[in-house]
């Protein structure tokens, strides 16, 4: 370890074991040695012969010193002269100077050992933004501006300006925080993830069907190659809540809302409630494709048609196990709500309640 700062030895005191008869000798004999050095000692403190010296080495009963360390003058000293630690108030200032020297003017780490160590203590993460609120009712979407911490450095990333996604693909969106360049890599729905773009982080997986974007994954999960699809907050060894009781705490549901879709693919990894406000076509409620389900998890689907009844069909992962039939059509201008619970033994969403009203 480098020893470039004088180390205080709190409450250290001793006496000279031999007189110092000149102002240039650099070896002092002491009756006790300080525990840490380099350090600063005062000889004959509080007297006209007070001298500040820096200890740079130790031997058997001796210390090697730099004389007249504060340029206030060197003196002779008698045997038995008092020696005390100079509890340096400059010590904290020098520590601050060393730390600040490792950072740029904008408080980002500079490219050196301390900065690298500091940076490695923090994972990459999206601090804010870069998260579209809901999928649009089309294949075109804009990713808004945001802030990314990458290798310990903070970067402001501009919005992507909009991108039209391929039909029936999973498109992985990477961004290079240092350049702000977005890269869009499409693969077929359900195919293995592509390699991460160099010097980038993966911020989204955008899923499309034949006509619209159906889901956006930005939940901190990993793709099939183990790349994190970054969430909007850092994950630094977060404590699990398993077997813990949460009381008097509100949990806010994640809501996906759009006017009308040909296919709705509910992904609980992204949303809890799915709302269609003016369904204008026959609707297919498809099986989820990316979410990892847990027993008992629930989703709510809310549908209001456009004044004309629309047919509803379901994927194979939806059943009326509780004796409530899966609806096959909306009722014109009536709002329908369906509550599904994931049944781990069945491996399906079980319809536990359905109702409708104005």
Using one digit for the tens of pLDDT, what is the confidence trace for 92-118?
A: 666 677 677 767 776 666 655 555 555
Using one digit for the tens of pLDDT, what is the confidence trace for 166-188?
A: 999 999 999 999 999 999 999 99
pLDDT band at 67 (very low <50, low <70, confident <90, very high): very high
Tokens of 236: 């630094």
Q: Among candidates 281, 306, 291, which has minimal Cα distance to 340?
A: 291
Residues 277-291, mean pLDDT to the nearest whole number: 92
pLDDT band at 78 (very low <50, low <70, confident <90, very high): very high
Residues 279-292, mean pLDDT to the nearest whole number: 91
Tokens of 241: 């809540």
Instruction: Write the DSSP assignment of 201-249 as a string of letters.
Output: EEEEEEEE-SSSEEEEE-SS-B-TTS-BB--SS--SSPPP-TT----S-
Task: Give the chain's mean pLDDT.
Answer: 85
Query: In angstroms, rounded to a whole number, what is the distance separating the alpha carbons of residues 249 and 240?
Result: 17
- Residue 153 CB coordination number (10 Å): 19
Answer whether residue 247 shows pLDDT above 80: no
Query: In angstroms, rounded to a whole number, what is the distance separating the alpha carbons of residues 297 and 320?
Result: 16
**Between these two residues, 114 and 35, which has the higher pLDDT value?**
35
Q: Among candidates 245, 250, 249, 266, which has minimal Cα distance to 317?
A: 266
**Between these two residues, 60 and 222, which has the higher pLDDT value?**
60
Segment holding 185, helix H or strand E:
strand 181-188
Q: Among candidates 85, 65, 67, which has minimal Cα distance to 76?
A: 67
Answer whether residue 322 shows pLDDT above 70: no
Q: Among candidates 194, 184, 189, 196, which has minimal Cα distance to 150?
A: 196
- Residue 90 CB coordination number (10 Å): 13
Tell me if 274 sits within 8 A of 299, measured CB to CB.
Answer: yes
Residues 143-157, mean pLDDT to the nearest whole number: 87
Instruction: Tell me the pTM.
Output: 0.42
Answer whether residue 32 shows pLDDT above 80: yes
Tell me if 81 sits within 8 A of 53, measured CB to CB.
Answer: no
Q: Of the given ranges (10-14, 15-19, 45-49), which has the lowest mean pLDDT? A: 10-14
Q: For 310, which DSSP code? A: -
């Amino acid at each position: 370890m480098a020893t470039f700062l004088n180390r205080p030895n709190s409450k250290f005191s001793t006496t000279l074991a031999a007189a110092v008869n000149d102002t240039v000798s650099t070896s002092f004999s002491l009756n006790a040695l300080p525990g840490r050095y380099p350090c600063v000692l005062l000889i004959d403190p509080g007297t006209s012969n007070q001298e500040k010296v820096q200890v740079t080495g130790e031997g058997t009963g001796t210390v090697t010193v730099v004389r007249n360390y504060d340029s206030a003058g060197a003196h002779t000293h008698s045997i038995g002269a008092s020696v005390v630690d100079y509890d340096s108030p400059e010590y904290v200032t020098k520590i601050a100077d060393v730390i600040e020297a490792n950072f740029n003017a904008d408080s980002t780490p500079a490219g050196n050992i301390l900065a690298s160590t500091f940076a490695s203590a923090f994972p990459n993460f999206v601090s804010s933004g870069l998260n579209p609120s809901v999928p649009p009712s089309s294949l075109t979407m804009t990713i808004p501006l945001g802030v990314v911490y990458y290798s310990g450095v903070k970067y402001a990333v501009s919005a992507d300006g909009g991108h039209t996604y391929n039909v029936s693909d999973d498109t992985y969106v990477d961004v290079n925080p240092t350049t702000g360049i977005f890269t869009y890599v499409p693969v077929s729905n359900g195919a293995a993830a592509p390699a991460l773009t160099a010097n980038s982080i993966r911020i989204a997986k955008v899923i499309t069907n034949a006509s619209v974007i159906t889901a956006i994954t930005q939940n901190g999960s990993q793709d099939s190659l183990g790349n994190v699809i970054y969430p909007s907050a850092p994950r630094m060894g977060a404590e699990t809540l398993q077997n813990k009781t949460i009381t008097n705490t509100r949990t806010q549901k994640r809501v996906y809302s759009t006017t009308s879709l040909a296919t709705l693919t509910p992904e609980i990894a992204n949303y809890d409630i799915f709302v269609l406000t003016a369904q204008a076509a026959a609707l297919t409620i498809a099986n989820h494709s990316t979410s990892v389900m847990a027993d008992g998890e629930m989703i709510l689907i809310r549908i209001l048609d456009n004044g004309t009844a629309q047919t509803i069909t379901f994927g194979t992962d939806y059943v009326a196990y509780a004796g409530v039939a899966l609806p096959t059509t909306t009722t014109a201008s009536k709002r329908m709500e369906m509550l599904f619970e994931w049944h781990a033994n069945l491996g399906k969403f079980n319809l536990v309640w359905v109702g409708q009203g104005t």
